[in-house]
Structure 1
Amino acid sequence: MPELDSTKKPRRGWKIAVISVVAAVIAVGGVGAATATTWKPAADALVGSSLATPTAAPTTEAPALPVSMTLAPKTGATLVNPADQVVAEVKNGTIFNAVLKETATGESTDGELFVSGSKWIASKPLKFNTDYTLDVTAVDDNGKQSNQVSTFTTVSEANEADMWMYPANDSTVGVAQPLEFHFSEPVTNKTAVEKAIKISSATGQKGAFHWYSDTMVRYRAAEHWPANTKLKVDINLFGVDYGNGQIGNFNKTNTINIGDKVVMEADATAHIVHIYVNDKLTKTFLASMGDERFPSAAGYLVLTADKQRFATFDASTIGLKPGDPAYYGKLDVEYATRLANSGIFIHLAAPVAIPYLGKVNLSHGCIGLDREGASWVFNNMKPGDLVHTVGTPDPTNTIAPTDGFGDWNIPFAEYAHR
């Protein structure tokens, strides 16, 4: 019987010991098992070791720069010009919401964002005599909101200034018609008002304003308007300060139609009138003009819009009284076309004067014609047509500039120098 090999027993015991250790590890949790009690080396054993895990950085967000907001008009502002821009501007953020509304009615006004959302501007002008609220919300770079409100009031009705123009929009007038502008309030800031009114003619004529008072200005060209063209009058007075806090209240564009060039040459010495249409002699009529006591005005006159098929002249309106040799009481006339506010007309001569047409001046300053002549003027000449009188006793005896339209008696260089 062979002898037992005593050297193998220790190897068997080693294998059993290894198996026991592995079994113990598996019993604790197993290799790679996810348990709450997973073993790990002591912390001091990992210091300086490649196995050490770095601590995670904190996730707190960086503070944003504070939002700065500027609103215009500023809160509490009064007498705000309705033409002023309503603006909200933001620094270090963007505009999240902007609301401009009438405080009393809640009616809102739209606006637009600019500069990448950092500027808001109202898209419509304000109203007169109205309280407004501008409410703006902005956000910083981290989305934090901030709010600012401005309340303000526009100028009152007492500071609202109007204007009207003659001739009216789409009127047809003659080549000599000045444009006349009347203001509801005195204008002291005349330069600003002139800049707000732009007149354009077909030929780009040079023109000028002439102020006759603080509430009335006229505009005429150096030469007459070109016949059969249009004038464009751009009126941009909304928000313009007339002076003394009076603010213009509208913008508008008017068109004025210029008709044929019609000019009457009236000769007080020859007792005759010639009428030219577009520089061509068209009509000739015998006339009677102002006598020695009441001579016809010299120079240039312009037909006005006042035409009366039948009219009554009253001698008392020119200072005549009963007993005066020139007194005529009340006289009925026909085809009266006004040349001046003081009472100068072209009209059908009185029956007593008809035999003297072409021979003697018998009127009190008017131009008397026969029926054919007076009716032709009444039916064919228009406001703005020109009458040029010559042969009067005193060539300097022109009408006052505002007694009708005596503007053409003023040299243009003087006219343009208000």
Structure 2
Amino acid sequence: MEPEVPSRRPGRMKKVLVVAAVCLLAAVGGVFAAVAPDIARGAIESEASSAVRTSPGIAAPVVAPVTFDAAPADGAKQVNPAAPVSLKVANGTIERVTLTSTGGETVEGSIDSQGTGWTAAGPLKFNTDYSYTYVVKDGAGRESSTTQSFSTVSSSHEADAAIYPLDGMKVGVGQPLQVIFSEPVVNREAVEKAISITSSAGQTGAFHWHSDTMVRYRPENFWAANSTIAMDMKLFGVDLGNGQIANFNKKVNISIGDKKVAVADSAAHTFTLSVNDQVVKTLPVSMGDKRFPSARGYGVLMEKKRYDHFRASSIGLKPDDPAYYGDVDVEYTIRLTLSGAYIHQALESAYPFIGNANVSHGCIGFAPDGAAWVFDNMGTGDVVQIVNTEGDYAAHDDGFGDWNIPWSEYDN
């Protein structure tokens, strides 16, 4: 007889299965937790550390933020137009940059090979507002855009200059090079370093500041005859001091002619011209009288006029002065000083004294034929040395009196 098998209750079976499942899950979970606790924890921390998700429940990669170093700084004022405009980024790359003025002009630039730097290719303009926009991409490929603005040096702090001789001029061996600035120069050394001067004859020279706005340059001795001089002035953006910024670069090329040096002898009443150290002409003259003796030393010829008009009042003479000559028309004039010393054809009343006595107001007067010859054969930059006169030296900046300054003093 078969033994009786106890019947199983459905409810008990379910309970056993549930317990088994719980135990199994606990066992599996325990093994998972024991084997890879860091993986589980890392996933949770990744989710928690990023506020950005590409889809619900999935965190975007965590990357370092892009950092910027832009120059000029946002909102900068009085920016030097020559200052470099640049952008450097870390933890990302530069996609594109635009630099434009409020007038719509674009300043070109280039991104370096690593894609982490951008530099403007050209200088900016004075007194201009600029908008500076750059787009960058971070390590996750996300783009962001930033716009800054700045403004350059205002017109009130913009300095210009006048250069002489002019580009392409041909001058004599005595012509100093001159730059007159529109604003006072404090940083003289910076200006001198920004001006390169070379001579085809290999001559070197020195700068000499006659004032805070005027500087000249000459060699120790006269320029070599028939040489050329090149001035390369890279002054754009140079800080002159007191916030004044130079606004120009300029190249000037000058030709030097034959060496023409005349000696005007007040005692002998003669004017002797040498060309390339050979005497070519001696002419009789009348020079400054005792009251108005001709200035001694070297003078450099300046402007020439076939016809000119002289006024006694321009040298301080009044009608009641015995030396007053009123207003007169004069021929063949070549200026020696800014204050009014000239080479010229003497007035007719002085003809009897030419070669015999000094009756002028400091000028060198010639007979008509002599005045015409000098006018045709001498010009800007040629030299006249006045000797045996009771007059003192003219002021060094009253014309080009630079050759009357000893070299040891000029080169300082």
What's the TM-score bracket when you normalise by the shorter of the two chains? 0.7 to 0.9
Which residue type is aligned with residue 376 of structure 1? W
Is residue 2:65 matched to residue 1:70? no
Is residue 2:346 matched to residue 1:349? yes
> Which among 133, 145, 148 is matched to residue 146 of structure 2?
148
> Which among 307, 310, 314 is matched to residue 307 of structure 2?
310
Which residue type is aligned with residue 326 of structure 1? A
Give the drift of 1:387: 0.2
Aligned residues: 361
1:16-415 pair list within 5 angstroms: 63-102=62-101, 104-305=102-303, 307-393=304-390, 397-415=392-410
- 8 Å contact from structure 1 (residues 276, 282) kept in 2: yes
- 8 Å contact from structure 1 (residues 69, 148) kept in 2: no
DSSP 3-state at the match of 1:76 = coil
**Residues 129, 313 of structure 1: CA spacing in aligned structure 2 closer, same or farther, 3 A cutoff?**
closer
Partner of 1:22: none
Instruction: State the alpha-carbon separation in 2 of the partners of residues 164 and 279 from structure 1.
Output: 33
DSSP 3-state at the match of 1:353 = helix
Give the drift of 1:265: 0.8
Instruction: State the alpha-carbon separation in 2 of the partners of residues 311 and 146 from structure 1.
Output: 72
Instruction: State the alpha-carbon separation in 2 of the partners of residues 146 and 390 from structure 1.
Output: 79
Give the drift of 1:83: 0.6
DSSP 3-state at the match of 2:394 = coil
Give the drift of 1:416: 2.1
DSSP 3-state at the match of 1:158 = helix
DSSP 3-state at the match of 2:285 = strand
Relative to structure 2, which stretch is displaced further, 346-355 or 74-83?
Answer: 346-355
**TM-score scaled by length of structure 1:** 0.81
Give the drift of 1:127: 1.1
**Residues 319, 67 of structure 1: CA spacing in aligned structure 2 closer, same or farther, 3 A cutoff?**
closer
1:6-57 deviations in whole A, cap 9, x for unaligned? xxxxxxxxxxxxxxxxxxxxxxxxxxxxxxxxxxxxx99xx9xxxxxxx9x9
Instruction: State the alpha-carbon separation in 1 of the partners of residues 191 and 379 from structure 2.
Output: 30
Partner of 1:38: none
Instruction: State the alpha-carbon separation in 2 of the partners of residues 320 and 75 from structure 1.
Output: 62
DSSP 3-state at the match of 1:148 = strand
Instruction: State the alpha-carbon separation in 2 of the partners of residues 82 and 355 from structure 1.
Output: 64
Give the drift of 1:131: 1.3
Instruction: State the alpha-carbon separation in 2 of the partners of residues 299 and 413 from structure 1.
Output: 17
Give the drift of 1:348: 1.2
**TM-score scaled by length of structure 2:** 0.83
1:80-127 deviations in whole A, cap 9, x for unaligned? 11111111111122111111111x233322111125111000111111
Which residue type is aligned with residue 92 of structure 1? N
Which residue type is aligned with residue 220 of structure 2? A
Structure 1: where are the runs of 5+ without partners?
A: 1-42, 48-54
Instruction: State the alpha-carbon separation in 2 of the partners of residues 377 and 223 from structure 1.
Output: 24
Instruction: State the alpha-carbon separation in 1 of the partners of residues 226 and 290 from structure 2.
Output: 39
Which residue type is aligned with residue 318 of structure 1? I
**Residues 331, 131 of structure 1: CA spacing in aligned structure 2 closer, same or farther, 3 A cutoff?**
closer
Instruction: State the alpha-carbon separation in 2 of the partners of residues 220 and 150 from structure 1.
Output: 48
Instruction: State the alpha-carbon separation in 2 of the partners of residues 108 and 276 from structure 1.
Output: 58
Instruction: State the alpha-carbon separation in 2 of the partners of residues 90 and 323 from structure 1.
Output: 81
Fraction of identical pairs, as percent = 52
Instruction: State the alpha-carbon separation in 2 of the partners of residues 390 and 108 from structure 1.
Output: 62
- 8 Å contact from structure 2 (residues 201, 228) kept in 1: no
- 8 Å contact from structure 1 (residues 73, 150) kept in 2: no
Give the drift of 1:316: 2.8
- 8 Å contact from structure 2 (residues 130, 150) kept in 1: yes
Instruction: State the alpha-carbon separation in 2 of the partners of residues 106 and 403 from structure 1.
Output: 48
- 8 Å contact from structure 1 (residues 182, 216) kept in 2: yes
User: What root-mean-square deviation, in Å, do the aligned CA atoms of Structure 1 and Structure 2 show?
Assistant: 2.2
Relative to structure 2, which stretch is displaced further, 319-328 or 398-407?
Answer: 319-328
Instruction: State the alpha-carbon separation in 2 of the partners of residues 137 and 65 from structure 1.
Output: 17
Instruction: State the alpha-carbon separation in 1 of the partners of residues 67 and 316 from structure 2.
Output: 75
- 8 Å contact from structure 2 (residues 201, 227) kept in 1: no
1:115-149 deviations in whole A, cap 9, x for unaligned? 51110001111111111111111112332223322
Instruction: State the alpha-carbon separation in 2 of the partners of residues 177 and 409 from structure 1.
Output: 13
Structure 2: where are the runs of 5+ without partners?
A: 1-23, 29-35, 44-57
- 8 Å contact from structure 1 (residues 309, 334) kept in 2: yes
- 8 Å contact from structure 1 (residues 67, 146) kept in 2: no
1:251-292 deviations in whole A, cap 9, x for unaligned? 111111111111111111111111111111111111111112
Which residue type is aligned with residue 390 of structure 2? P
- 8 Å contact from structure 2 (residues 194, 234) kept in 1: yes
